[in-house]
Structure 1
Amino acid sequence: MTDSSPVPSLLNLAIDRAAANIEKFPTFTFVPDHIVAILFEKTLESSKLNDAILKKFLETDNNWVRKRVKDLGIRPANRPVLPTACSAKSPKLV
């Protein structure tokens, strides 16, 4: 009996591998738009989307990703930045 499932293409294997290691990429700006869209969906499916990865996707200026983020109501967490003792502009805390 032969297996009738198609053999995955090298591109599909590479995309799957990239999605599995999405957090290791410093940027996606070098990735073609259609692959960025696929990686975004795979990242959502695997529940790996976080603020840092979302920021990398949004840096690509991919219209499809931006629309998808808007449609899903995804927003980065707004974390307050607290002044530090090293900051020249910050008041000294007593």
Structure 2
Amino acid sequence: MEKQITASFESLQRDGAYVADSYLKDAVKAVDAQFGDGFARKNPTAVAPIIAAYMASASASYVTASKLKVLENVAEELSGALGGVAAAITEVAIELRQNVIP
């Protein structure tokens, strides 16, 4: 496997918080760009659903990264186990060829 998630779950969580903060700032900038400078700060109730959507996205990013980290480990272990099975099958085939099949 060429790329692997090496970050700890704690790091992924911190990254999620960093992303959430970044998304929050981006959301405010996007709202202000659309409705005028300072709109987001002056109208927090109107902006709340947009910010909630940004936060949900950041949370989803953390969950996805965590799942991928677990799945990478599972795939790596399965790959090793299947390699062992393949080697055992090869040994049995060689044994059969040498001793059973004329």
* Max Rg structure: 2
Which structure's relative contact order is higher, taking Cα pairs within 8 Å and 6+ residues apart?
2
TM-score, normalised via structure 1 length: 0.23
**Structure (1 or 2) with the greater helix fraction:** 2
TM-score, normalised via structure 2 length: 0.22
